[in-house]
Amino acid sequence: MAFNKLTIEDVDIAGKRVLIRVDFNAPLDGEGNITDDRKITVHLPTINYALSHNAKIILMSHLGRPKGKMTSKLSLQRVAIRLSELLKHKVGFASDCIGEDVQKLVKSMNSGEVILLENLRFHPEEEANDANFAKELASLGEVYVDDAFSAVHRAHASISAITQYFPQAVSGFLLKEELEYLSQVFLHPERPICIVLGGAKVSSKIGIIDNLLDKIDKLIIGGGLAYTFLAAEGKNVGNSLLERDKIEDVNRILLDAKKYNVEVILPIDYLIADAFEQEAKTQIVTDNIPDGWIGVGIGPETVTRFTDALKGAKTIFWNGAVSVFEFEKFSAPTYALAKAIANENALTIAGGGETTAVIDRLGLEEKFSHVSTGGGACLEFLEGKELPGVSGLTNKGKE
């Protein structure tokens, strides 16, 4: 699918106040220090483009969940310092995101200057998608750019309501790249196409499966959601995560898969533990999981089964760990699958928080075609849902 929204390259930004919605929601340690700056670096292409066109750049973002109250540990001031280092360019910081002082600061900007506004979520109006708050934010800029893919599924003031106050609302480079790659999963993908789903709950993946099932060739199911599939086949899953109320949905999915000639590949052996902790006793079992034991990952035969199923695929989308990788003792199956996907000669796309964490931990990002920055946004897009931060952007042809 051709990207049909206007981008920052389609509008004149030279010398103008360019208001860019980014997602600088970087992970922090207990002291509020940034532990991983990928959330910042992914926006550098858009910011540098605006700098190269001598724009006045006003950046706005959220950080954490302050619940509408000022919280010093969630101030974006540290992010401004880190961004300045990454850009090799001074970044000013506004102590709020609205108000008279912010207005004065922005109006005094010279071309080529960069300012980061304080955390949007210090104001409850942001998450309430409040029109007046959005209008006040909009008054800071002459051009609006949304580059925050990981937040586009939120109907928040800086993402949704704000677009009505600009004649044109355009995309940054990150948002465009995300949508172009993810569109390839279900719009004219190169086949065979294989979807690999893990994670905890089947309920969070039903929407994706329903939306993609008639477009794919293989569906690989691992992780916690596999146990509901196994229970639907009449197998005992012990004390493993099981959503009994979703067994009917699973049975429907299995019937639909047969109708669409989609091969569904489920685990045939399991790594199980007697407790959900690092020091638990473990064993490998096939077919049924004994009562009192918990499934914590796929077994070695299943790892081979899954990696064999990937061979020859031309498009692979992966979301969700297939074992409890947070505990090193249970991480091997997920690591093996990540490496197998990375080594396939295919368009390989990964999305979701824990999936990205695995890829980062193994240093595999360069071996994937695309690693999405958005967990919820990625999943909702693949479910076919309308994303407020995308629908509000101006279509090409409406310039």
Q: 3-state DSSP call for residue 296?
A: strand
Predicted model pTM? 0.89
Cα angle: 333, vertex 336, 339; to 5 degrees: 150
Domain that residue 370 falls in:
189-380
Domain boundary among 176, 207, 241: 176
For residues 172 and 146, the answer to whether their CB atoms sit within 8 Å is yes
Alpha-carbon distances, residue 196 vs 175, 219, 307 (angstroms):
23, 6, 11
Q: Is the pLDDT reported for residue 138 higher than 90?
A: yes
Q: Is the pLDDT reported for residue 135 higher than 90?
A: yes
Residue 347 lies in a domain: yes
**Are 194 and 326 within one domain?**
yes
**Are 119 and 258 within one domain?**
no
**Are 250 and 300 within one domain?**
yes
Domain boundary among 150, 176, 202: 176
Residue 198 lies in a domain: yes
With a pLDDT cut of 70, the percent of the chain lying above it is 99
CATH code, domain carrying 168: 3.40.50.1260
Q: What is the mean pLDDT of residues 326-347?
A: 94
**Are 325 and 283 within one domain?**
yes
Name the strands in the sheet holding 263-265, side by side, starting at the edge strand that comes first in the sequence: 263-265, 218-221, 193-197, 315-319, 347-350, 370-371
Task: Read off the amino acid at residue 79.
Answer: V
**Are 261 and 309 within one domain?**
yes
Residue 350 CB coordination number (10 Å): 25
Instruction: Give the per-residue pLDDT at 1.
Output: 43
With a pLDDT cut of 90, the percent of the chain lying above it is 84
Residue 322 lies in a domain: yes
CA 348/CA 315 separation, integer angstroms? 6
Six-digit token string for 299: 């077994």
Residue 183 lies in a domain: no
Residue 3 lies in a domain: no
Q: Is the pLDDT reported for residue 84 higher than 90?
A: yes
Instruction: Give the per-residue pLDDT at 325.
Output: 86
**Are 109 and 218 within one domain?**
no
**Are 234 and 167 within one domain?**
no
